[in-house]
Structure 1
Amino acid sequence: MTVNRADTAVVGGGIVGLAHALAAARRGDRVVLFERDDFAVGASIRNFGMIWAVGQQRGEIYERALRTREIWLDIAAKSGLWAAPTGSLHLAHHPDEVAVLEEFLAITPPARERGARMITPDETRDRSATARTDGLLAAMWSPTELNVDPRLAIPAVARYLVAEYGVDIRFGTTVRGIDLPEVSTTEGEWHADRVYVCSGNDFATLYPEVFARSGLVRCKLQMMRTGAQPAGWQLGPMLCGGLTLLHYAAFDDCVSKAALAARLGDELPFHREHGVHVLLSQTADGRLTIGDSHAYAKTLHPFESEEINEAVVDYLGTFAQLPNPAITERWSGYYPSLRDGRTELVTEPQPGVTVVNGVGGAGMTLSFGLAEEIIGR
């Protein structure tokens, strides 16, 4: 029986797996990547395409996001992948939103050093024709956010790995078991020195006992997309409003956040109950991605709520006005999430095997930097 060989095997063809394949290949390893589906269909293609450094925890996680941004831009320059350095605008239509943003900047020198600052409604209008400036008090401009198109970016990264580094990517191949050096797959046996299991929402195929005690739960979110906007219209900076200040860890230490949470809890109880915060990004062909909601459990029902979708669209209308708001696509996404403040799950169930999971909704923002850290250990 023929046994194939690699220095490093990666399980999972989403962004976490691709990032580990890249880091290993850059180290000089012969790399094989196994993806059970014929192409990536999970959370890595069901997101906004936002490389969202500004929302990440201060310190090493924020720096990891910036390093990930650098790698995205490097891949884009070498492969032609669409990556727009649009930056972002946090729009504040209420005094308590202004207070959180001002406090964030006051306690976050690294963000200020990289250009984040408060701007006036007139300056906001100059940067974004989409932002609603009626009633706008101020906005926080951040230049570090990068917009990619996830449905194009994930396959583009896979092609780049093959062309640039000779990574052997095996789509439609399930890894059935690992007992190093043996890796058993549905397309035969492999020998590898080390394996990175980046299986995303699949907790059952490999090391289910690891996931059972990990604290991971699944997050279900609802998202939407418009058709292409007219006449080549461009969104410019990606946009969000006050609800987003309650979602991202970057704002957790802001004392002023309590007053904002209290007001929004009173005014928007449905949004808060369903974890709704609203972001707006664009795709390479001009469509707009809108979302999202968040529900957490080990098992989640598969049905979408149109009431949630309506809540998302209604809130979007409080801070953005779109040329053509007609929705052409709706979908649910699922990703593993750690609810205790950890930003990732990294564990070794056996010598030479590393499980990497639990990056939550920040996979596009953190995975390249995280993979470099893990591969370099």
Structure 2
Amino acid sequence: MQTDYDVTIIGGGIVGLAQAWMASRRGLSVLLLDRTDVPVGASVRNFGMIWPIGQPIGQRYDTAMRSRNFWLELSEQGVIEAEACGSIHLAHREDELAVLEELSSSNQYPTKMLTAEETVRRSPLANPSGLLAGMYSETELRVDPRTASLKLSQWLDTQDKVTCKYSTPVVRVEAPLVHTAFGDRFSAPRIVICSGSDLQTLYADVLQSSGLKLCKLQMLKTASQANLPRNTPHLASGLTLRHYTAFEHCQSLAALQQRIADETPELDRFGIHVMASAFPSGQVILGDSHEYDQDITPFDKQEIDDLMLRELRKVITLSDWTITERWHGIYAKHPTLAIFEQELDDGVHAFVGPGGAGMTMSFGLAQNAWDRWM
């Protein structure tokens, strides 16, 4: 059994997989270790949205677009399927329309304002009742979150430079060695910690004082919808405009935020904004909410699900509102950084916490890191 590599990656979610792929593209031999037998964390518990439109113009948007290109490369190679479905932000209130028009008129993003009629033609899920307009963006992709990370890890494991070992918990790092729970030791001059929401096992003193916060989100999946076109765009509501940093510089945003705080403070209390992602099966993933740190419990709140469904019914229409699955995910997020990076020991790097943008940003963030490290 090989025990010496150029790089050891600890963590097999999308962040660790991106690190492994980018390192191997530079000709490095890579060992990826994860404690579970398949990816089970935030990488599989999301919308499957590759979402550049949520990132602010500049380095973060550029990173998201490079990540998008890597997803398309994987799709072209037959590793996973990435659909260029685009997205539509829906405006059912005048203040929502004002924010969307302000962003679109800046000409910084490849967006187009649609009339209500054009919006419904592009997406039969858009609720026409009270619909004022939509903002279409061409850059968003859809991947199946439940299979994408697993397929990527299986493909990486077939590449000459990558070895993936799942069900292999790492319990200690003594650079250049990593020690597993089974007594195995592996050596590499560079070690990258991609531990997801686990801030306790490795370098807990650093990670827990880093500013990283844990975020819990609740999500839903519907029964299959009748006659849903395959490439239906992702949908986002006016509530979403207060969540993504792409909109934070819009002068019209403050009025929207104040109106929501006045009319529906319960949405702010649970960090609720609603979105929908339709899949070829006809099922639609719905969400989501955001609870942080001490507010997180193992138990999901029916109140949150009810609030999400209440708001979703205002902005989308479904032929069948039956909910077939409910779940929650937990991710780590830094309040100001795209991802938390720190050299922990000589050759040991923390690479943790892309927040809710892991699927959107991880490939580009990993590429940036290896551009610096080599």
Q: What is the TM-score with the length of structure 2 in the denominator?
A: 0.96
Match of 1:206 in 2: 202
Match of 2:300 in 1: 304
* Residue matched to 1:15: 14
Q: What is aligned with 1:354?
A: 349
Question: Residues 3 and 189 of structure 1 are in contact (CA less than 8 Å); yes or no, is this contact kept in structure 2?
Answer: no
- Counterpart code for 1:296: Y
3-state SS, counterpart of residue 190 of structure 1: strand
CA distance in 2, matches of 1:198, 1:142: 31
- Which string of whole-angstrom CA distances, capped at 9 and with x for unpartnered residues, describes residues 209-240 of structure 1? 11121011110111010122235654601101
- Residue 247 of structure 1 corresponds to 243
- Per the alignment, residue 273 of structure 1 pairs with 269
Give SS of 1:74's match: helix
Compute the displacement of 1:105 (Å).
Answer: 2.2
Distance in 1, Cα, partners of 2:208 & 2:32: 25
Task: Report the more deviating stretch, 365-374 or 280-289.
Answer: 280-289
1:155 equivalent in alignment to 2:150 = yes
Counterpart in the other structure of 1:65: 64
Report the Cα offset of residue 287 of structure 1: 1.5
The C-alpha deviation readout for 1:109-162, integer Å capped at 9, x for no partner, is 331xxx312111121122111111222111100010001110011101111212
Check whether the contact 2:124–2:228 (CA below 8 A) recurs between aligned residues. no
For 1:102, the aligned partner's letter is E
Query: CA offset at residue 364 of structure 1?
Result: 0.2
Q: Distance in 1 between matches of 2:296 and 2:313?
A: 29
Decide whether aligned partners of structure 1 residues 325 and 299 sit closer, same or farther in structure 2, where only a CA change above 3 A counts.
closer
Query: 3-state SS of the aligned residue for 1:57?
Result: coil
Check whether the contact 1:217–1:298 (CA below 8 A) recurs between aligned residues.
no
The match for 1:291 is 287
Q: How large is the RMSD of aligned CA atoms in angstroms?
A: 1.5
| Equivalent pair of 1:130/1:235 in contact (CA under 8 Å) | no
1:282-327: CA deviation from partner (whole Å, max 9, x where unpaired): 2343321000000111572111111110110111111110122210
Q: Does 1:332 align with 2:332?
A: no
How many pairs are equivalent?
371
Paired residue secondary structure (2:77): helix
User: SS where residue 314 of structure 2 aligns?
Assistant: coil
Match for residue 261 of structure 1 among 239, 257, 262? 257
Which amino acid is 1:35 matched to?
D
- Hey, what does 2:108 align to over in structure 1? 110
The structure 2 residue matched to 1:237, chosen from 233, 251, 255, is: 233
Which TM-score applies when normalising by structure 1? 0.95
Write the deviation string for residues 171-203 of structure 1: whole angstroms up to 9, x where unpaired. Answer: 000112222221212341111010110000111
Write out per-residue CA displacement over residues 62-111 of structure 1, whole angstroms, 9 at most, x where no aligned residue.
Answer: 1111110100010111124121111000000111111111111233x331
Tell me if the contact between 1:36 and 1:175 (Cα under 8 Å) persists in the aligned partners: yes
Alignment partner, residue 75 of structure 1: 74
Tell me if the contact between 1:3 and 1:191 (Cα under 8 Å) persists in the aligned partners: no
Q: CA, structure 1 residues 60+198, in 2 after alignment: closer, same or farther (shift >3 Å)?
A: same
Please tell me whether the aligned partners of residues 230 and 280 of structure 2 are also in contact (alpha carbons under 8 angstroms): no
Q: What SS does structure 2 have at the residue aligned with 1:90?
A: strand
> Which one-letter code corresponds to 1:227 in the other structure?
A
- Provide the residue aligned with 1:139 in structure 2: 134
**Structure 2 CA distance for partners of 1:201 and 1:190, relative to 1, 3 Å:** same
The letter of the residue matching 2:290 is H
User: Equivalent pairs: percent with the same residue?
Assistant: 43
Quote the offset at 1:335 in angstroms: 0.5
| One-letter amino acid of the counterpart of residue 215, structure 1 | G
**2:361 matched to 1:366?**
yes
Deviation >2 Å, runs of 4+: 163-166, 227-235, 282-286
What is the rounded CA distance, in whole Å, between the counterparts of 1:71 and 1:97 in structure 2? 32
Structure 1 residues 3, 147: CA separation in 2 closer, same or farther (over 3 Å shift)?
A: closer
Q: Name the CA distance, whole Å, in 1 between partners of 2:166 and 2:48.
A: 22
Which residue of 122, 125, 131 maps to 1:127? 122
Query: Residue 228 of structure 1 contacts residue 285 of structure 1 at CA under 8 Å; is this kept in 2?
Result: yes
Cα distance in 2 for residues equivalent to 1:110 and 1:149: 29
Aligned partner of residue 74 in structure 2, secondary structure: helix
Matched residue type, 2:353: G
Is the partner of 2:16 in helix, strand or coil?
helix
Structure 2 counterparts to residues 219-230 of structure 1, below 5 A: 219-230=215-226
In structure 2, distance between residues paired with 1:306 and 1:336: 23
5+ long unaligned stretches in structure 2? none
Aligned-partner residue type, residue 299 of structure 2: F
- Matches of 1:76 and 1:48 in 2, distance apart? 18
Q: Is the 8 A contact 1:87 1:238 kept in 2?
A: yes
